[in-house]
Structure 1
Amino acid sequence: MTTESVQFRLAEHDDLPDIVAIYNQNIASHMVTAEIEPVTVMEREDWFAQHTPDKWPMWVATRGGQVVGWVSLSQWNTRAAYSGTAEISIYIDAAAKGQHIGTLAVQWAEAHAAAARINTIITLIIGANKPSIGLFKKLGYEQWGFLPAVMRFADRNQDLVLLGKTLV
Structure 2
Amino acid sequence: MAIETKRAVLADLPRIVEIYNSTVASRQVTADTEPVTVESRTAWFNNHSDKRPIFLFLQDGETVGWLSFETFYGRRAYNKTVEVSLYLDEQFRGRGIGQQAVAMMKDIAATLDIETLLAFVFSHNTRALKLFGRNGFEEYGRLPDVAVMDGDKYSLSILGFKLD
TM-score strictly above 0.5: yes
- State the distance in 1 between where 2:71 and 2:28 align: 22
Q: What TM-score comes out, normalization by structure 1 length?
A: 0.94
In the alignment, the residues of structure 2 paired with residue 31 and residue 157 of structure 1 have an alpha-carbon distance, to the nearest angstrom, of 12
- Supply the distance in 1 between the matched residues of 2:152 and 2:98 (Cα, whole angstroms): 26
Q: Which residue of 2 aligns with 1:51?
A: 48
1:141 equivalenced with 2:137 (yes/no): yes
Match of 2:120 in 1: 124
Corresponding pairs, count: 164
Aligned partner of 1:39 in structure 2 is: 36
Aligned-residue offset at 1:67: 0.8
Residue identity in the other structure for 1:82: Y
TM-score by length of 2: 0.96
Q: Which runs of 5+ in 2 are unaligned?
A: none
Per-residue deviation, 1:21: 0.3
Q: Which moved more, 1:15-24 or 1:58-67?
A: 58-67
Match of 1:151 among 136, 147, 150: 147
Unpaired runs of 5+ residues, structure 1, are none
Counterpart pick for 1:75 among 57, 71, 74: 71
Cα shift at 1:102: 1.3
Q: Distance in 2 between matches of 1:57 and 1:100?
A: 23
1:42 deviates by: 0.6
The CA RMSD measured in Å over matched residues stands at 1.0
Superposed counterparts of 1:14-25, under 5 Å: 14-25=11-22
Following the alignment from structure 1 to structure 2, what is the Cα–Cα distance between the partners of residues 117 and 98?
31
1:155 Cα deviation after fit: 4.6
Distance in 2, matches of 1:42 and 1:113, equals 28
Secondary structure of 1:122's match? Answer: strand
Runs of 4+ in 1 over 6 A off after TM superposition: none
* Mapped partners of 2:35, 2:100: distance in 1: 26
- For 1:159 and 1:150, the matched residues in 2 are separated by 6
| Aligned amino acid, residue 16 of structure 2 | I
The answer on whether the counterparts of 1:71 and 1:106 sit within 8 Å (CA) in structure 2 is: no
Aligned residue in 2 for 1:92: 88
Give 1:26 deviation, angstroms.
0.2
Identity, % of aligned positions: 37
Deviation digits for residues 9-60 of structure 1 (CA, Å, limit 9, x no counterpart): 11111110000000000001111001111000010001111222x2101110
| Cα separation, 2, equivalents of 1:112 and 1:141 | 16
Secondary structure in structure 1 of the residue aligned to 2:77: helix
Match of 2:147, SS state, is: strand
